[in-house]
Amino acid sequence: MAAHARLRQLQDLPSPSGLPLIGNALQLQPSTLHTTLEQWARKLGSPYRYRVGNTHVIVWTQAELCQSVLRERPHLYRRIAPIESVLGEIGINGLFSAEGAAWEPQRRLIMQALSISNIKAFYPTLAGITERFRQRLQRAAAQGKSLEMTDELKRYTVDVTSSLAFGEDPNTLEQEGGVIQERLALILPAVMRRVSAPFPYWRYVRLPSDRKLDRAMIDVHRFVHDMIGRARERMRDAPGDAPRNLLEAMLVARDTPGSGVTDAQVAANVLTLLIAGEDTTANTIAWSLMYIAADPALQQRLGDASRTAFGGQRVCPDYGRLKQLDLCEAASNEASRLRPVAVILGFEPLEDVCLDGIAVPAGTWVFFLTRPPMLEPANFAHPERFDPDRWMHLHDPSRGAHEQRAYLTFGGGPRVCPGRYLATVEIRLVLSMIAANFDISMAIDPATITEISAFTMVPSRMPMHLKPRA
Protein backbone atom coordinates (compact mmCIF):
# COMPACT_ATOMS: atom_id res chain seq x y z
CA MET A 1 0.00 0.00 0.00
CA ALA A 2 2.82 2.40 0.90
CA ALA A 3 4.73 1.60 -2.31
CA HIS A 4 1.60 2.16 -4.39
CA ALA A 5 1.00 5.50 -2.70
CA ARG A 6 4.45 6.69 -3.87
CA LEU A 7 3.69 5.99 -7.52
CA ARG A 8 2.78 8.94 -9.68
CA GLN A 9 -0.67 8.81 -11.21
CA LEU A 10 -1.80 9.91 -14.68
CA GLN A 11 -3.18 13.17 -13.30
CA ASP A 12 0.26 14.01 -11.86
CA LEU A 13 1.85 14.22 -15.32
CA PRO A 14 2.13 17.49 -17.25
CA SER A 15 -0.32 17.90 -20.09
CA PRO A 16 -1.08 20.39 -22.86
CA SER A 17 -4.20 22.37 -22.12
CA GLY A 18 -7.36 21.00 -23.71
CA LEU A 19 -11.12 21.30 -23.70
CA PRO A 20 -13.79 19.57 -21.61
CA LEU A 21 -15.04 16.26 -22.98
CA ILE A 22 -12.87 16.19 -26.13
CA GLY A 23 -9.53 16.92 -24.44
CA ASN A 24 -6.77 17.61 -26.98
CA ALA A 25 -8.59 16.23 -30.03
CA LEU A 26 -8.72 19.56 -31.90
CA GLN A 27 -4.95 20.03 -31.51
CA LEU A 28 -4.10 16.76 -33.25
CA GLN A 29 -4.21 16.11 -36.96
CA PRO A 30 -3.35 12.59 -38.16
CA SER A 31 -0.92 13.84 -40.82
CA THR A 32 1.12 15.86 -38.32
CA LEU A 33 0.66 13.71 -35.21
CA HIS A 34 4.35 12.92 -34.70
CA THR A 35 5.51 16.53 -35.02
CA THR A 36 2.87 17.71 -32.55
CA LEU A 37 3.85 15.04 -30.02
CA GLU A 38 7.53 15.91 -30.43
CA GLN A 39 6.79 19.61 -29.88
CA TRP A 40 4.89 18.80 -26.69
CA ALA A 41 7.78 16.62 -25.52
CA ARG A 42 10.21 19.51 -25.96
CA LYS A 43 7.88 21.80 -24.00
CA LEU A 44 6.58 19.46 -21.30
CA GLY A 45 9.39 16.92 -20.93
CA SER A 46 9.01 13.16 -20.75
CA PRO A 47 6.68 11.63 -19.80
CA TYR A 48 3.62 13.75 -20.38
CA ARG A 49 0.00 12.90 -21.04
CA TYR A 50 -2.81 14.01 -23.31
CA ARG A 51 -6.41 12.98 -23.84
CA VAL A 52 -8.71 12.47 -26.83
CA GLY A 53 -12.23 11.95 -25.56
CA ASN A 54 -12.04 9.11 -23.04
CA THR A 55 -8.70 7.83 -24.34
CA HIS A 56 -5.69 8.68 -22.18
CA VAL A 57 -2.21 8.63 -23.72
CA ILE A 58 1.16 8.78 -21.95
CA VAL A 59 4.10 9.81 -24.14
CA TRP A 60 7.71 8.90 -23.41
CA THR A 61 10.99 9.60 -25.21
CA GLN A 62 13.26 7.25 -23.22
CA ALA A 63 14.64 4.55 -25.53
CA GLU A 64 15.66 2.21 -22.71
CA LEU A 65 12.10 2.21 -21.36
CA CYS A 66 10.78 1.46 -24.83
CA GLN A 67 13.21 -1.46 -25.11
CA SER A 68 11.92 -2.88 -21.82
CA VAL A 69 8.30 -2.69 -23.06
CA LEU A 70 9.25 -4.36 -26.35
CA ARG A 71 10.80 -7.23 -24.41
CA GLU A 72 7.53 -7.73 -22.51
CA ARG A 73 5.45 -8.26 -25.65
CA PRO A 74 3.16 -10.01 -26.31
CA HIS A 75 2.35 -11.33 -22.82
CA LEU A 76 2.20 -7.95 -21.02
CA TYR A 77 1.72 -5.36 -23.80
CA ARG A 78 -0.11 -5.25 -27.11
CA ARG A 79 -0.41 -2.70 -29.88
CA ILE A 80 -3.16 -0.17 -29.23
CA ALA A 81 -6.48 -1.96 -29.79
CA PRO A 82 -7.79 0.21 -32.68
CA ILE A 83 -4.97 -1.02 -34.92
CA GLU A 84 -6.24 -4.60 -34.80
CA SER A 85 -9.90 -3.61 -35.26
CA VAL A 86 -9.24 -1.13 -38.09
CA LEU A 87 -7.00 -3.53 -39.99
CA GLY A 88 -9.41 -6.38 -39.34
CA GLU A 89 -12.29 -4.44 -40.90
CA ILE A 90 -10.43 -4.14 -44.21
CA GLY A 91 -9.05 -7.69 -44.11
CA ILE A 92 -5.44 -7.02 -43.12
CA ASN A 93 -5.28 -8.40 -39.60
CA GLY A 94 -2.08 -10.36 -40.22
CA LEU A 95 1.17 -10.78 -38.33
CA PHE A 96 1.69 -7.06 -37.69
CA SER A 97 -1.56 -6.55 -35.80
CA ALA A 98 -2.36 -10.06 -34.55
CA GLU A 99 -2.26 -10.40 -30.77
CA GLY A 100 -2.09 -13.22 -28.22
CA ALA A 101 -1.69 -16.77 -29.46
CA ALA A 102 -2.83 -15.85 -32.98
CA TRP A 103 0.50 -14.32 -33.95
CA GLU A 104 2.77 -17.28 -33.08
CA PRO A 105 2.00 -19.71 -35.94
CA GLN A 106 1.97 -16.83 -38.40
CA ARG A 107 5.32 -15.54 -37.19
CA ARG A 108 7.02 -18.92 -37.54
CA LEU A 109 6.01 -19.12 -41.20
CA ILE A 110 7.02 -15.56 -42.01
CA MET A 111 10.33 -15.67 -40.12
CA GLN A 112 11.29 -18.78 -42.07
CA ALA A 113 10.31 -17.21 -45.40
CA LEU A 114 12.30 -14.04 -44.66
CA SER A 115 15.33 -15.82 -43.20
CA ILE A 116 18.87 -15.04 -44.34
CA SER A 117 19.18 -18.41 -46.10
CA ASN A 118 16.01 -17.83 -48.11
CA ILE A 119 17.02 -14.30 -49.05
CA LYS A 120 20.45 -15.55 -50.12
CA ALA A 121 18.83 -18.20 -52.36
CA PHE A 122 16.50 -15.51 -53.75
CA TYR A 123 19.36 -13.14 -54.53
CA PRO A 124 19.61 -13.79 -58.31
CA THR A 125 15.93 -12.83 -58.72
CA LEU A 126 16.42 -9.82 -56.45
CA ALA A 127 19.41 -8.66 -58.50
CA GLY A 128 17.36 -9.11 -61.69
CA ILE A 129 14.57 -6.87 -60.34
CA THR A 130 17.21 -4.31 -59.33
CA GLU A 131 18.60 -4.36 -62.88
CA ARG A 132 15.08 -3.77 -64.19
CA PHE A 133 14.83 -0.81 -61.82
CA ARG A 134 18.16 0.51 -63.13
CA GLN A 135 16.87 0.35 -66.70
CA ARG A 136 13.75 2.29 -65.72
CA LEU A 137 15.89 4.98 -64.07
CA GLN A 138 18.22 4.99 -67.07
CA ARG A 139 15.34 5.70 -69.46
CA ALA A 140 14.11 8.59 -67.33
CA ALA A 141 17.63 10.01 -67.02
CA ALA A 142 18.16 9.83 -70.79
CA GLN A 143 14.93 11.79 -71.30
CA GLY A 144 15.90 14.39 -68.69
CA LYS A 145 12.80 13.59 -66.64
CA SER A 146 12.61 14.10 -62.89
CA LEU A 147 11.24 11.13 -60.97
CA GLU A 148 9.10 11.02 -57.84
CA MET A 149 11.47 8.60 -56.15
CA THR A 150 9.15 7.42 -53.39
CA ASP A 151 6.67 6.14 -55.97
CA GLU A 152 9.43 4.56 -58.04
CA LEU A 153 10.85 2.81 -54.99
CA LYS A 154 7.44 1.46 -54.02
CA ARG A 155 7.17 -0.19 -57.43
CA TYR A 156 10.51 -1.84 -56.80
CA THR A 157 9.70 -3.06 -53.30
CA VAL A 158 6.29 -4.43 -54.35
CA ASP A 159 7.97 -6.44 -57.11
CA VAL A 160 10.61 -7.75 -54.69
CA THR A 161 8.19 -8.69 -51.90
CA SER A 162 5.74 -10.38 -54.23
CA SER A 163 8.45 -12.37 -56.00
CA LEU A 164 10.08 -13.56 -52.76
CA ALA A 165 7.03 -14.26 -50.64
CA PHE A 166 4.45 -15.30 -53.22
CA GLY A 167 6.38 -16.59 -56.22
CA GLU A 168 4.81 -13.99 -58.53
CA ASP A 169 6.36 -10.89 -60.05
CA PRO A 170 3.73 -8.19 -60.80
CA ASN A 171 6.42 -6.27 -62.74
CA THR A 172 5.11 -2.84 -61.80
CA LEU A 173 8.49 -1.41 -62.85
CA GLU A 174 7.61 -1.87 -66.52
CA GLN A 175 4.08 -0.47 -66.30
CA GLU A 176 3.04 3.16 -66.27
CA GLY A 177 -0.41 3.07 -64.69
CA GLY A 178 -3.05 0.92 -63.08
CA VAL A 179 -0.53 -1.01 -60.98
CA ILE A 180 -1.47 -2.61 -57.65
CA GLN A 181 0.99 -0.34 -55.86
CA GLU A 182 -1.31 2.62 -56.52
CA ARG A 183 -4.10 0.90 -54.54
CA LEU A 184 -1.78 -0.26 -51.78
CA ALA A 185 -0.55 3.31 -51.30
CA LEU A 186 -4.03 4.38 -50.11
CA ILE A 187 -4.21 1.91 -47.25
CA LEU A 188 -1.81 3.16 -44.57
CA PRO A 189 -2.92 6.83 -44.72
CA ALA A 190 -6.52 5.60 -44.30
CA VAL A 191 -5.51 3.39 -41.38
CA MET A 192 -3.78 6.40 -39.78
CA ARG A 193 -6.93 8.51 -40.08
CA ARG A 194 -9.13 5.81 -38.57
CA VAL A 195 -6.81 4.85 -35.72
CA SER A 196 -6.49 8.55 -34.80
CA ALA A 197 -10.23 9.31 -35.03
CA PRO A 198 -12.02 10.06 -31.72
CA PHE A 199 -14.78 7.61 -32.73
CA PRO A 200 -15.32 5.17 -35.66
CA TYR A 201 -17.20 7.60 -37.89
CA TRP A 202 -16.71 5.43 -41.02
CA ARG A 203 -19.12 2.85 -39.63
CA TYR A 204 -21.90 5.44 -39.88
CA VAL A 205 -20.81 7.96 -42.56
CA ARG A 206 -18.57 7.22 -45.56
CA LEU A 207 -16.49 10.23 -46.53
CA PRO A 208 -15.04 10.52 -50.07
CA SER A 209 -11.70 9.18 -48.78
CA ASP A 210 -13.49 6.15 -47.29
CA ARG A 211 -15.31 5.43 -50.54
CA LYS A 212 -12.01 5.70 -52.41
CA LEU A 213 -10.49 3.19 -50.00
CA ASP A 214 -13.48 0.88 -50.48
CA ARG A 215 -12.92 0.86 -54.24
CA ALA A 216 -9.21 0.26 -53.83
CA MET A 217 -9.77 -2.63 -51.40
CA ILE A 218 -12.05 -4.38 -53.91
CA ASP A 219 -9.16 -4.39 -56.39
CA VAL A 220 -6.60 -5.35 -53.75
CA HIS A 221 -8.63 -8.29 -52.42
CA ARG A 222 -9.29 -9.47 -55.97
CA PHE A 223 -5.53 -9.31 -56.63
CA VAL A 224 -4.83 -11.37 -53.48
CA HIS A 225 -7.63 -13.87 -54.19
CA ASP A 226 -6.34 -14.46 -57.71
CA MET A 227 -2.78 -14.88 -56.44
CA ILE A 228 -3.90 -17.48 -53.89
CA GLY A 229 -5.86 -19.29 -56.59
CA ARG A 230 -2.83 -19.49 -58.86
CA ALA A 231 -0.69 -20.77 -55.99
CA ARG A 232 -3.18 -23.55 -55.29
CA GLU A 233 -3.15 -24.49 -58.99
CA ARG A 234 0.65 -24.77 -58.94
CA MET A 235 0.45 -26.92 -55.83
CA ARG A 236 -2.15 -29.21 -57.42
CA ASP A 237 0.08 -29.58 -60.48
CA ALA A 238 3.01 -30.68 -58.30
CA PRO A 239 1.52 -32.67 -55.40
CA GLY A 240 3.97 -33.66 -52.71
CA ASP A 241 6.52 -30.94 -53.55
CA ALA A 242 7.84 -28.82 -50.69
CA PRO A 243 6.44 -25.28 -50.52
CA ARG A 244 8.43 -22.98 -52.80
CA ASN A 245 7.56 -19.69 -51.10
CA LEU A 246 5.75 -18.19 -48.12
CA LEU A 247 2.33 -18.25 -49.76
CA GLU A 248 2.54 -21.97 -50.49
CA ALA A 249 3.82 -22.60 -46.94
CA MET A 250 0.83 -20.70 -45.52
CA LEU A 251 -1.55 -22.71 -47.71
CA VAL A 252 0.01 -25.98 -46.57
CA ALA A 253 -0.38 -24.83 -42.95
CA ARG A 254 -3.96 -23.78 -43.66
CA ASP A 255 -4.77 -27.28 -44.93
CA THR A 256 -3.11 -29.07 -42.01
CA PRO A 257 -5.71 -30.17 -39.42
CA GLY A 258 -5.40 -28.23 -36.18
CA SER A 259 -2.95 -25.67 -37.58
CA GLY A 260 -4.99 -22.70 -36.42
CA VAL A 261 -4.28 -20.90 -39.72
CA THR A 262 -7.41 -19.72 -41.52
CA ASP A 263 -8.17 -18.53 -45.05
CA ALA A 264 -8.59 -15.01 -43.68
CA GLN A 265 -5.15 -15.12 -42.04
CA VAL A 266 -3.52 -16.29 -45.26
CA ALA A 267 -5.07 -13.41 -47.20
CA ALA A 268 -4.31 -10.93 -44.39
CA ASN A 269 -0.65 -11.88 -44.30
CA VAL A 270 -0.33 -11.59 -48.07
CA LEU A 271 -1.60 -8.02 -47.73
CA THR A 272 0.48 -7.30 -44.63
CA LEU A 273 3.68 -8.28 -46.41
CA LEU A 274 2.80 -6.37 -49.57
CA ILE A 275 2.07 -3.19 -47.62
CA ALA A 276 4.93 -3.45 -45.13
CA GLY A 277 7.44 -4.50 -47.78
CA GLU A 278 6.30 -1.68 -50.04
CA ASP A 279 6.04 1.19 -47.59
CA THR A 280 8.73 1.08 -44.94
CA THR A 281 11.69 0.09 -47.12
CA ALA A 282 10.75 2.44 -49.96
CA ASN A 283 10.42 5.44 -47.66
CA THR A 284 13.65 4.60 -45.83
CA ILE A 285 15.54 4.57 -49.13
CA ALA A 286 13.82 7.78 -50.26
CA TRP A 287 14.89 9.68 -47.13
CA SER A 288 18.41 8.27 -47.59
CA LEU A 289 18.59 9.54 -51.17
CA MET A 290 17.60 13.03 -50.03
CA TYR A 291 20.66 13.23 -47.77
CA ILE A 292 22.96 11.58 -50.32
CA ALA A 293 21.85 14.03 -53.03
CA ALA A 294 22.92 16.93 -50.80
CA ASP A 295 26.45 15.54 -50.28
CA PRO A 296 28.57 15.26 -53.49
CA ALA A 297 31.55 13.89 -51.59
CA LEU A 298 29.44 11.10 -50.10
CA GLN A 299 28.00 10.36 -53.54
CA GLN A 300 31.54 9.96 -54.88
CA ARG A 301 32.52 7.62 -52.04
CA LEU A 302 29.39 5.54 -52.50
CA GLY A 303 29.93 5.36 -56.24
CA ASP A 304 33.57 4.33 -55.89
CA ALA A 305 32.80 1.63 -53.31
CA SER A 306 29.89 0.32 -55.37
CA ARG A 307 31.78 0.10 -58.65
CA THR A 308 34.63 -1.67 -56.92
CA ALA A 309 32.21 -4.24 -55.47
CA PHE A 310 30.41 -4.68 -58.79
CA GLY A 311 33.54 -5.63 -60.75
CA GLY A 312 32.32 -4.07 -63.98
CA GLN A 313 28.64 -4.99 -63.55
CA ARG A 314 25.77 -2.50 -63.27
CA VAL A 315 24.25 -4.16 -60.19
CA CYS A 316 25.92 -6.03 -57.32
CA PRO A 317 26.33 -9.45 -58.99
CA ASP A 318 26.21 -11.79 -56.00
CA TYR A 319 25.15 -11.92 -52.39
CA GLY A 320 28.70 -12.19 -51.03
CA ARG A 321 29.75 -8.82 -52.44
CA LEU A 322 27.05 -7.03 -50.47
CA LYS A 323 29.51 -7.14 -47.56
CA GLN A 324 31.60 -4.53 -49.40
CA LEU A 325 28.69 -2.06 -49.31
CA ASP A 326 28.72 -1.14 -45.62
CA LEU A 327 28.77 2.57 -46.48
CA CYS A 328 25.38 2.22 -48.20
CA GLU A 329 23.81 0.78 -45.07
CA ALA A 330 25.59 3.37 -42.93
CA ALA A 331 24.07 6.19 -45.00
CA SER A 332 20.63 4.60 -44.61
CA ASN A 333 21.08 4.12 -40.86
CA GLU A 334 22.02 7.75 -40.49
CA ALA A 335 19.05 8.93 -42.55
CA SER A 336 16.79 6.72 -40.42
CA ARG A 337 18.23 8.23 -37.27
CA LEU A 338 17.20 11.70 -38.45
CA ARG A 339 14.02 10.66 -40.31
CA PRO A 340 12.77 7.43 -38.72
CA VAL A 341 9.97 5.79 -40.66
CA ALA A 342 8.62 4.23 -37.44
CA VAL A 343 8.49 7.52 -35.55
CA ILE A 344 5.82 6.51 -32.98
CA LEU A 345 5.55 3.10 -31.30
CA GLY A 346 2.19 2.68 -29.56
CA PHE A 347 1.19 0.02 -27.02
CA GLU A 348 -1.21 -0.61 -24.17
CA PRO A 349 -0.67 -2.81 -21.11
CA LEU A 350 -2.87 -5.86 -20.68
CA GLU A 351 -2.92 -5.33 -16.92
CA ASP A 352 -2.10 -2.55 -14.49
CA VAL A 353 1.65 -1.87 -14.61
CA CYS A 354 4.25 0.46 -13.17
CA LEU A 355 6.39 2.22 -15.76
CA ASP A 356 9.16 4.57 -14.70
CA GLY A 357 7.50 5.07 -11.31
CA ILE A 358 4.09 5.81 -12.84
CA ALA A 359 0.96 3.73 -12.26
CA VAL A 360 -0.39 2.90 -15.72
CA PRO A 361 -3.85 1.29 -15.74
CA ALA A 362 -4.56 -1.53 -18.18
CA GLY A 363 -5.71 -0.22 -21.56
CA THR A 364 -3.95 3.14 -21.26
CA TRP A 365 -2.21 4.06 -24.50
CA VAL A 366 1.56 4.27 -24.11
CA PHE A 367 3.42 6.05 -26.94
CA PHE A 368 7.17 6.11 -27.42
CA LEU A 369 8.68 8.73 -29.73
CA THR A 370 11.69 7.18 -31.44
CA ARG A 371 13.41 10.29 -32.82
CA PRO A 372 14.06 12.37 -29.65
CA PRO A 373 16.47 9.82 -28.08
CA MET A 374 18.37 9.61 -31.38
CA LEU A 375 18.87 13.39 -31.25
CA GLU A 376 20.26 13.34 -27.70
CA PRO A 377 24.00 14.19 -27.45
CA ALA A 378 24.26 11.56 -24.70
CA ASN A 379 23.29 8.90 -27.25
CA PHE A 380 24.88 10.20 -30.46
CA ALA A 381 27.73 12.68 -30.74
CA HIS A 382 26.81 15.81 -32.72
CA PRO A 383 23.30 14.42 -33.22
CA GLU A 384 22.19 17.21 -35.58
CA ARG A 385 24.87 16.24 -38.12
CA PHE A 386 24.27 13.77 -40.97
CA ASP A 387 27.35 11.59 -40.53
CA PRO A 388 27.24 8.08 -42.01
CA ASP A 389 30.78 7.46 -40.78
CA ARG A 390 29.52 7.21 -37.21
CA TRP A 391 28.14 3.80 -38.27
CA MET A 392 31.44 2.79 -39.88
CA HIS A 393 33.43 3.30 -36.65
CA LEU A 394 31.17 1.87 -33.97
CA HIS A 395 34.00 0.95 -31.60
CA ASP A 396 36.07 4.12 -31.93
CA PRO A 397 35.70 5.98 -28.60
CA SER A 398 37.34 9.07 -30.05
CA ARG A 399 34.23 9.70 -32.14
CA GLY A 400 32.08 10.22 -29.06
CA ALA A 401 28.75 8.71 -28.01
CA HIS A 402 27.06 6.07 -30.14
CA GLU A 403 24.31 4.30 -28.21
CA GLN A 404 22.83 1.71 -30.56
CA ARG A 405 20.13 0.76 -28.06
CA ALA A 406 18.60 4.18 -28.74
CA TYR A 407 18.20 3.21 -32.44
CA LEU A 408 14.76 1.61 -32.72
CA THR A 409 14.26 1.36 -36.50
CA PHE A 410 13.29 -2.31 -36.47
CA GLY A 411 11.72 -2.42 -33.00
CA GLY A 412 12.98 -5.08 -30.63
CA GLY A 413 12.05 -7.96 -28.38
CA PRO A 414 10.16 -11.09 -29.49
CA ARG A 415 8.24 -9.13 -32.14
CA VAL A 416 11.23 -7.45 -33.78
CA CYS A 417 10.57 -6.73 -37.47
CA PRO A 418 10.77 -10.05 -39.37
CA GLY A 419 11.62 -8.26 -42.62
CA ARG A 420 14.78 -6.54 -41.39
CA TYR A 421 17.18 -8.80 -43.32
CA LEU A 422 15.33 -8.31 -46.59
CA ALA A 423 15.13 -4.56 -45.98
CA THR A 424 18.88 -4.19 -45.42
CA VAL A 425 19.65 -6.22 -48.56
CA GLU A 426 17.28 -4.06 -50.62
CA ILE A 427 18.80 -0.89 -49.16
CA ARG A 428 22.34 -1.96 -50.02
CA LEU A 429 21.33 -3.10 -53.50
CA VAL A 430 19.36 0.00 -54.48
CA LEU A 431 21.66 2.64 -53.00
CA SER A 432 24.74 1.00 -54.52
CA MET A 433 23.04 0.60 -57.92
CA ILE A 434 22.06 4.28 -57.98
CA ALA A 435 25.46 5.48 -56.72
CA ALA A 436 27.35 3.36 -59.25
CA ASN A 437 25.30 4.43 -62.25
CA PHE A 438 23.93 7.93 -61.59
CA ASP A 439 24.62 11.33 -60.14
CA ILE A 440 21.51 12.44 -58.28
CA SER A 441 20.20 15.85 -57.31
CA MET A 442 16.96 17.13 -55.85
CA ALA A 443 14.45 18.65 -58.28
CA ILE A 444 13.12 20.92 -55.51
CA ASP A 445 14.50 22.60 -52.42
CA PRO A 446 14.72 19.85 -49.75
CA ALA A 447 13.53 22.40 -47.17
CA THR A 448 10.11 22.31 -48.85
CA ILE A 449 9.73 18.57 -48.20
CA THR A 450 7.51 17.98 -45.19
CA GLU A 451 7.10 14.94 -42.98
CA ILE A 452 3.69 13.29 -43.05
CA SER A 453 2.33 10.80 -40.53
CA ALA A 454 0.67 8.16 -42.67
CA PHE A 455 1.00 5.35 -40.13
CA THR A 456 4.65 5.45 -41.09
CA MET A 457 6.49 8.77 -41.45
CA VAL A 458 6.76 9.61 -45.16
CA PRO A 459 8.05 12.52 -47.25
CA SER A 460 5.47 14.78 -48.87
CA ARG A 461 7.49 14.67 -52.11
CA MET A 462 10.85 13.37 -53.28
CA PRO A 463 11.40 14.46 -56.91
CA MET A 464 14.92 13.85 -58.20
CA HIS A 465 17.03 14.35 -61.28
CA LEU A 466 19.31 11.51 -62.30
CA LYS A 467 22.30 11.95 -64.61
CA PRO A 468 24.02 8.83 -66.00
CA ARG A 469 27.59 8.39 -64.85
CA ALA A 470 30.26 7.84 -67.48
Q: Tell which residue, 367, 409, 407, has the closest CA to residue 383.
A: 407
Is 417 annotated as contributing to ligand binding?
yes
Binding-site residues, in ranges, read 417
Residue ranges for the known binding site for heme are: 417
